[in-house]
Every structure is written in structure tokens, then in C-alpha cells.
Structure 1
Amino acid sequence: MSSHPWYILGAGSIGCLWAATLHQATGKSPVMIVRNREHSINENTDKKAVLTLTRLDKTESCHPVSVVTADEITAPIHQLIVCTKASDALTAMNSISPVLAKHCNVLLLQNGMGSQEAVAEAFPAQNIWIWLNH
């Protein structure tokens, strides 16, 4: 297993679900990249947040995450999950392009089609993986 943290671009429902799942599976807190802090998930002063998942049986689990904006990232990103709308994917990827490691593994989880090819073309040095749900 890689020692590099997972980054998640997009803090909507799918991004938060993946963050909680990654924390549960690895025991490590992923890093959520948000567009701006004013409309992001609730966080405290040290750029940390806790996601609470409620299951159908009403049990809850809490999962810590780090929260950053694109301009606050200082270390190279080696593992990234993109959880944006398809129409926002390329713009979102461009916002973090300076910190993407060469050969970064990028998993695109879009709701919508059409952006995957544009992202792959714009980021040829990265390993682009696409989730298709049929």
C-alpha cells in the first residue's frame, strides 16, 4: 500500500462517501480539496474535519479528513480521486495541475460523460482511470 495520502477533488456527496470509505479501509485521513472554504464541509481551525456517515440502520461512523484549497497544497499529489460533475472535471484538474506528480494515479468518478477524454488528453503524464457505471 502506498504511503502517499489520497486526495479527493470535490467535496460533494460522492467525494465525502469516498473519503469516509478510504479512511475506514486504510485508517488514514484523506485530503479533501475544496473550491473555497466558505462553501466547504465544516472544518475546525487546523484544516481538519470529521465526516459522519449514517447507515440505513441508523448507526453512525465518524471519519477524519484534512481540508485544503488548491493553492494550499504544498506536496505532490500521487493518488487522486476526482468527484466533480463531468463539466467541471477539466477545470478542477487544471486548478491542481502544478502539484500533480508525474505518473499520478487519477480516478475519474464523474456523473456525466464527455470529460474523460479531455482530461486524459490534457494530462498525458498521469495515469487516468475512469469509472463507468452501466
Structure 2
Amino acid sequence: MKNTPWLVIGAGAIGLFWACKLEKLGNKVHLVYRSESPGKKITLESLTDEEGQQQVCTTKHKIKSFTAEELTDQYDKVLICTKSFDLKNAFTQVEAHITNDADIACLCNGIGAQEELQNKLLETQTLWAGTTSEGVLKIEANHIKHTGLGDTYFGQWRPTTPAKDFPLEGMTVTNIHQRMIEKLAVNAVINPITAIFNIHNGDILNDEYKPLIDATLSELSSVFTHPKFSYLQESQHLTRDNLKNRVNTIAQLTRLNRSSMHEDIRLQRQTENNFISGFLLDNSPIELPVQRLLFDGVAHAEQREEVRKKLLSLS
């Protein structure tokens, strides 16, 4: 693999984390930010080491940062770490600096934005969709805290024959669509419920939310196992019990965390609602009254109190 710089787009928690991770792996990294410059050094505060032992470790990483307008180089390895709704626009802003044979990877929640980006790329460029369970918190413009170890995988959005390998060793998977559906399923429970009720992830396991969680899981399993669901091949294993185990595990592991959607609503930012609940509502072959309520509760602040009452009355 050529030792050309990686272009990381997005200076949020995940973008800064990956800029540091790539630099730590011996790569040159150029970081594109939009509104707030992280400067020339990024501080990464890790609360766990690579073996998962609790250990405070702070490292400094020299990363060159640019706005999109300041770029002059050409890049053949790109990692876009933006919100789903910004994915296509973020690429468009740097498109003139991407080589015709580039590997372009994205790490964003939900499903839908990847296909929008794929349709913008040249046939000779490869889109890699990624999913990660790393926990990262942004403290300041140039300071992040790694709050929990996780796994990251990338796969070709449109597989080729022969299959290609991702530019980073050990992260290539052939079933990325399945992994993304699995993550979407968990996000479709934890994200909107924690956002609407203003609670931590672990709070969804409290008794008062049990009927709501049960109703949500039953409805989701009906979609994922439905013979007319377009992702059936990747989702048919997501039975109610399977989903319950996945949601309970993530809620326990991240019990003190606030979901990204919770934080977006708290800070009055745009959410990825359209790519999570919205994706399910657009693609489901059956009616989804619970997901509709969850979608509306996130999308419309003025309806949130009424939606809360309806959700808590589910049985």
C-alpha cells in the first residue's frame, strides 16, 4: 500500500479519534475540519489500554489540519467521519482532490447515505462502508477521550469480483450490510428512546420502559424477518430474542453513556433520525406504528410530550 496521506474528513469525536489512530499506525494524516480548527496537536486521553485494562494514558498527535478550501494535494485514501446527512456534501467539498482510483470509506450511523454517496463516485473508485463500536467523547476542539474499546469493520458497499481488501489490515469484512443492519436495529431502539425521554442508555432497561422496549423489539423483528424486506438476506436472523439480547448487551455496556441522538437533541443539532427510524419507515413492507411514534418524537419537539405519553401507554 502506498504511503500517501490519509484524508480524514470531520473533526468530531470519531474523526479526531481516527486521525490519531491512523497516525499511531504510522500513516501520514491530513484532517479536514469545517468550523472549529483542532490546531496542530490532538490530545487523546484513553481510559483503557489495548487489552481492555483500566488505565489512564494521554498521548499527543501531530496532525495537519485544513479547511476543504485549503487542500492542495491529491488523495487516494479517504475516511469520512460525518453525520449521515452531511456525508455526500462533505465528499463534494473535497471531490477535486480525490484520485480516480481512490478508496473512500465512511463511518456514519444508519443506512441510506452510503447509497447517495456511491452514486456520486466514479466506477474506478471504491466505497467502503464502516461500522464501529468504539466509544469516544470530544472534550475540546483538540481533545478527545476514548471511553470504551470497540471493533471497527469496513466492507465494500458494492462488492466486486474479485473482492478487494481495505487499506488497513484486519478490518475487511464481506458482510458489511449485515453488520450495518445489526447496528441499525440497536440504534432504532436505544437512540430515539433515550433522546425522547432524556435518559442514559442503561435507563432503557428500567421497569417503566419494559412494555415500550418489548413493543419496539416485536415490531422490529417483524420487519427484519419479513419475506418482502429488501435486506432480508442480511436481517432474517434478527428474531425478537436475538434483538433483545443485542439491545440489552449494548445498553449494559454503555449504560452511563448518552446516545448521539440524545446529545443532538440536547444541543439542538440535526439528528440522524432520517437514516435510522426514517430508513425503516421508508423500506418496511409493513406498517410500523412504534417506529412512527419514535420518529415523530425525535423530529418534532412540540409533539414530544404527547409522544412520551403514547409510548409509555404501549403494552
Q: TM-score range by the shorter chain?
A: 0.7 to 0.9
Of 85, 88, 92, which residue of structure 2 is paired with 1:90? 88
Is the contact made by 2:45 and 2:57 (CA closer than 8 Å) also made in structure 1? yes
| TM-score for the superposition, normalised by structure 1 | 0.87
Moved more, 55-64 or 87-96: 55-64
1:118 corresponding residue in structure 2: 116
Runs of 4+ off more than 4 Å: none
Identity level (%) = 27
Superposed CA RMSD in Å reads: 1.3
User: 1:123 is paired with a residue of what secondary structure?
Assistant: coil
| TM-score for the superposition, normalised by structure 2 | 0.38
- Amino acid of the structure 1 residue aligned with 2:87: A
2:71 corresponding residue in structure 1: 73
Of 23, 37, 44, which residue of structure 2 is paired with 1:53? 44
Please give the alpha-carbon distance, in whole angstroms, between the structure 2 residues aligned to 1:50 and 1:92: 23
Of 52, 61, 64, which residue of structure 2 is paired with 1:63? 61
Q: With CA pairs under 8 Å and 6+ residues apart, which has the higher RCO, 1 or 2?
A: 1
User: 1:79 is paired with a residue of what secondary structure?
Assistant: strand
Structure with more helix by fraction: 2
- Amino acid of the structure 2 residue aligned with 1:51: I
Of 37, 40, 53, which residue of structure 2 is paired with 1:40? 37
Structure with more strand by fraction: 1
Task: Identify unmatched segments of 5+ residues in structure 2.
Answer: 48-54, 132-179, 184-315
User: 1:122 is paired with a residue of what secondary structure?
Assistant: coil
Aligned positions, number: 125
Which has the greater radius of gyration?
2
Task: Identify unmatched segments of 5+ residues in structure 1.
Answer: 44-48
Please give the alpha-carbon distance, in whole angstroms, between the structure 2 residues aligned to 1:112 and 1:99: 27
How much has 1:73 moved relative to structure 2? 1.0
1:46 corresponding residue in structure 2: none
Please give the alpha-carbon distance, in whole angstroms, between the structure 2 residues aligned to 1:74 and 1:126: 20
